[in-house]
Amino acid sequence: MSHFDRRELLASGAVLTAAAIVPPAKALAPADRPASAATTLPPASATAVSPREQWLFDTGWRFKLGHGTDPARDLGFGMDQGDFAKTGDFKFAKTGFDDSSWAPVRLPHDWAVELPFVRDDDAKGESHLRSHGYKPLGRAYPETSVGWYRREFAVPASDAGRRIWVEFDGAFRDVIVFVNGCFIGRNNNGYAPFRFDVTDFLSYGAANIITLRVDASFGDGWFYEGAGVYRHVWLLKTDPLHLTRWDSVVRAQLDGQSAMLNLSTSVTNTDTAPTQARVRWEILAPDGAVVARAASGSATVPADGVLPFAASVTLERPHLWSVDNPALYTAIAIVESEGKTRDGERIAFGIRSAVFTAGQGFLLNGKVTKIQGVCNHQDHAGVGAALPDRLQAFRLEVMQQMGCNAIRTSHNMPTPELIEACDRMGMMVMCETRQMSANAEGLAQLEVMIRRYRNAPSVILWSIGNEEWQLQDKMAEQGEHIARTMVRRCHELDPTRQVSAAVNGSNEKGVSLPLDVIGFNYNPKLPEAFHARHPDRPMFGSETSSAISTRGEYVSDPKRNTINSYDGVVEWGSTPEAWWSFYGSRDWEAGGFAWTGFDYRGEPTPYGWPSINSQFGIVDMCGFPKDYFHYYRAWWGKEPALHVFPHWNWAGKEGAQVDVWAYSNLDEVELLVNGRSLGRKPVPHLGHVQWKATYAPGAIEARAYRAGRLMLTERRETTGSPRAIRLSADRAAINADGEDVVMVTVEVLDAKTRHVPTAQHAIAFRVSGAGTLIGVGNGDPNCLESDKAAQRSLFNGYAQVIVQAGTVPGPITIEAIASDMGSGLIGDRLVVPAHPARPRPAVA
């Protein structure tokens, strides 16, 4: 089960406000992890500095693989049944243990992405590894399914008397934590955060050892999930009198041109004596100016107890959070006792209204807003599940370029950095828990997700699960009970948001009955019929499309495991054009989420080996757009758009007929082939236009018109032989903070500097200076090359290199040459400056 301090989660009793004593309110919790400061109160505030410190605990770790069945190869752990007999006996978690042969690693870390691909198909073609991307994890692969992490850290003598916690944002999957030879605790799920109070186990003014055993033998899903400590770890230090974790809430209630902010939190007292305390708040506008202050009354927090506090304040003419203007406020909550600041934290929040309706779809701040969404898993080329923080924003940027305004966190609680990026960037979120269950574990996961993210303005909807066909059908009675308990708990913790689930069925029974908003997966006939029977129930497409395509491929070829880019689709799915023509044209439909934004590891569809990732993505594993991307850009975007495809490099097919398509949101599109017009065609609403063209080297050109006026032109030219490599970066400079990354695109040009869309060259890389290569990819769903090697083949013209900055400013030099020196390709060199930046406070 996920571990939390139950005293902190089960706070009860009267809420003391500045005005009066009122009945208890359900406390709300923030996504409050500070972005950059160990001291969580801002220097600009008039408030005294808080004693709370939060330190990044990502560096200095060492790692080695253990073993799932052989104790002799697993540090002797479990050699007999006496391991837990005495506290403090675990030698691998004490000073003096030799870990010099272990590999140094930085967190986040996913060891699965470093493992080889293993084909385990039997004679019938069945595979246990296929859904997880053919990585050797599971009980059948004990030698690669267990990993150990270990590091030494100092705790100053001045920390004596404080409460000290080790906090994990997530690890995959079963984690046992040891400190200074002592067993501390376990966590048995792969997505929810967990934390342990290690105060009593530390040596103050001396060296300490923390050791983790992580077992990825079991999974939570049917897709690639990684292995290891793939999210951040933190060391949190507080006063004995402190704010309860994830229990500070700002709930905004709009009323005309003003907003009432209902502020609530609870204070935990781990001391042996009752303590008088109060909580006061400062509200900072998006520009950082203090715009309001409030305070609770004073009250006594019992020894070893918890007490809620609350206050309220009104803001006039607040800035509203929206997709186009994601205005973020900050609340600073400060605990005071006897005139001293004892604790404090920042809570980012937004002011907005969000509601799903039966007749108008989804309303954001009272305005109809179609959900133009995608479902995404959490992995990326080169790094697996262990994404650097900047990569979260990069992936959102790619989605926003095609007009996407919402994501569904399929199918699990997301990492905090993703939600923070969505808050900053104006991306709405359907936030989904992993386990649909009313058991203790399922409710604990749901509870911590809501507590952690209910201050996030980007979160517009809670999802209690995905495609639970047993609970939807054969176990519908139990499904209704389970869902009703989960929905009730969502409302108790957060009465401001509606609750849904992704259902691949009729939604007439089972888990669907208690839902506030009905989510349909696929089959548009079902929502049409449901709306006719239940016109008073809000609806949306919780999972749609499942179109498949291979970037840069225009013929489906089972021998090469490729899918054409025109109309590839699985039997239960529909093309982008088909699903959006339904959801985008009905007022009572709120919109929907396409499966998926990015390709993802595992669940290879429609092919098996050597396919190691899905082909559902609108972009590939690296974020390189497929042609479908431009359909969405045309019909989701706000600017005039035109995209013509395929490329025009068809050597050996001279005289053959080639399908040419164009996506545009303009009135008409004309196609010219080598200067000869094949005519103009009107663009159907939410559709496309297409022609049959006879191939001859040269060029195709699409011209798009509005009201008879030429607006856009796009060409595809037959390129010459590959001549040179070109490197380009997603940003001109990055921060030398030890965490920032630059995404480098690798491509090949001909002698006229035109991109060669068919290039497949193997490229070798060298990174020097102020950065390190941490991953490579190319978007090929059938590529079995290493994600960590300093080389990668291009796939249909592109590859990607991910480079992470160190902490010393200076130039980062990325060099690329052809692996085949006889290819004649000219190499390239790219320099990206790493500017001085203050790293986040980190445990040394």
Q: Which residue, among 541, 153, 225, has the nearest Cα to 377 in the 3D structure?
A: 225
Q: Which residue, among 262, 195, 159, has the nearest Cα to 57 in the 3D structure?
A: 195
Give the strand pairing for 828-836 and 810-818.
antiparallel
From CA 811, how far away is CA 768, in angstroms rounded? 9
From CA 151, how far away is CA 61, in angstroms rounded? 5
Q: Contact 14/439 with Cβ under 8 angstroms?
A: no
Q: What are the residues whose beta carbons fall under 8 Å from the beta carbon of 183, sequence distance 6 or more?
A: 84, 87, 90, 176, 177
From CA 497, how far away is CA 431, in angstroms rounded? 11
Give the active site residues: 467, 543
From CA 544, how far away is CA 373, in angstroms rounded? 10
The Cα-based distances of 446 to 265, 348, 421, 440, 493 in angstroms read 19, 21, 21, 10, 10
Give the strand pairing for 539-545 and 589-595.
parallel
The Cα-based distances of 409 to 321, 445, 514, 539, 750 in angstroms read 20, 14, 21, 18, 41
Judged by DSSP in three states, 533 sits in helix
First to last CA, the chain: 30
How many residues comprise the chain?
844
Residue 363 exposed, middle or buried by CB count within 10 Å (0-12, 13-18, 19+): middle
Q: Which residue, among 97, 132, 94, 139, has the nearest Cα to 115 in the 3D structure?
A: 132
Q: Contact 263/210 with Cβ under 8 angstroms?
A: no
Tokens 């960590």 belong to 788
From CA 278, how far away is CA 269, in angstroms rounded? 12
In this structure, what token pair is assigned to residue 636? 């989701």
Q: Which residue, among 409, 322, 328, 324, has the nearest Cα to 374 in the 3D structure?
A: 409
Tokens 């989510």 belong to 519
What radius of gyration, in Å, describes the C-alpha atoms of the chain?
A: 28
Q: What are the residues whose beta carbons fall under 8 Å from the beta carbon of 306, sequence distance 6 or more?
A: 7, 8, 10, 11, 12, 244, 266, 267, 268, 269
* Burial profile 587-604: b = 16 or more Cβ within 10 angstroms, e = fewer: ebbbbbbbbbbbbbbbbb
From CA 171, how far away is CA 3, in angstroms rounded? 13
Q: Which residue, among 165, 126, 352, 366, has the nearest Cα to 253 in the 3D structure?
A: 352
Check residue 371 and report its DSSP letter: E
Backbone φ, ψ for residue 526 (5° rounding): -70, -50
Position 331, amino acid:
A
Residue 358 exposed, middle or buried by CB count within 10 Å (0-12, 13-18, 19+): middle
The Cα-based distances of 569 to 526, 576, 585, 606, 716 in angstroms read 19, 9, 21, 9, 26
Position 424, amino acid:
R
The Cα-based distances of 210 to 88, 166, 235, 262 in angstroms read 12, 10, 12, 40
Judged by DSSP in three states, 604 sits in coil
In this structure, what token pair is assigned to residue 495? 């009465």
